[in-house]
Structure 1
Amino acid sequence: MATIVPEEIDLNQLRRQLQGHFGELPPAGYVRGKTALRAAIVQILQCSELESEQLVDTLEARRMIRYEGEKRDAIDDLESFWQLAP
């Protein structure tokens, strides 16, 4: 597993790779979807789970990916999806 340098990651390219990975069906549910995003980044970049978690958090903080539902729901709403498009 390669160590990545977060500052060297092209976040727009990573977002496009995530779009390609998930195709027409973006991840559903806040927790389950975020878990799927992290797993996809591990697969795409061959990085650690911690690094992928940091990248998902960065993408979300920069609003490059967004969850369309309510994050605070006690039960993961599988009818709400992550938006991976700009």
Structure 2
Amino acid sequence: GDVARWFSEQQLRKVHDAAALVAGTLSRDVPIVGAGSGRWQIRRLAERMERSYVDFADIIPADDTVRGQASSAAPASAVALLAGYPS
């Protein structure tokens, strides 16, 4: 209920503050891409920042039956791949 909404808003505010620092240098037509299990929150961020939103599930070459699952796992997969690269 109210407590969950409060926590959701606090999380979104922190992400918004960080995104505003990064997005300030980008053209206004650059979309925000959402991936991971919290991408619904990133959609809210895009609305708040008045930017278009693209769901990672819509741009990956995957079968329709697994797109959502692949998008949810994308951040963890990216971190695993980055961890495997030598610095």
Higher helix share: 2
| Bigger radius of gyration among the two | 2
Normalization by structure 1: what TM-score?
0.36
Normalization by structure 2: what TM-score?
0.36
